[in-house]
Amino acid sequence: MTLLSAVFPLGIAYLPGEKVVLRVFEDRYLDLMNDIRQSDLTFNSVLIEQGSEVGGHDRRFAYGVQIKVENVYEAEFGLVVEAHAQERIRIVKW
């Protein structure tokens, strides 16, 4: 089954069961977190294979994990997101 879902590319890979703590401060990811908070509190995370996600032109791995948000705190710089990595996912199309 193919589903559409938000993806947060990161410079770190998570495994199912791991605790995830993110400091979110870029406008596009703050918008993503606001959308997530208004839906099912899940998003996907994939490791950046090559390049930097800032400004695009990065290459991402096709496998990642689904992340379930548990708490979101406002901070001086944006948001702190506490979550847990759930199941492994595969990206079919960007």
Note the pLDDT tens digit of each residue in 57-82: 666 767 899 999 999 999 998 999 99
Residue with the larger pLDDT of the pair 60 and 56: 60
At 52, the pLDDT band (50, 70, 90 cuts) reads low
Residue 10 confidence (pLDDT): 83
Residue with the larger pLDDT of the pair 19 and 59: 19
How far is Cα 55 from Cα 73, in angstroms, rounded to an integer?
A: 26
Tokens linked to 77: 């710089």
Residue 67 confidence (pLDDT): 95
Residue 2 confidence (pLDDT): 55
Give pTM, 2 decimals: 0.79
Q: At 34, is the secondary structure helix, strand, or coil?
A: helix
Query: Is 26 in contact with 56 (CB distance < 8 Å)?
Result: no
Q: Is the dihedral of CA 44, 47, 51, 52 positive or negative?
A: positive
Residue 64 confidence (pLDDT): 92
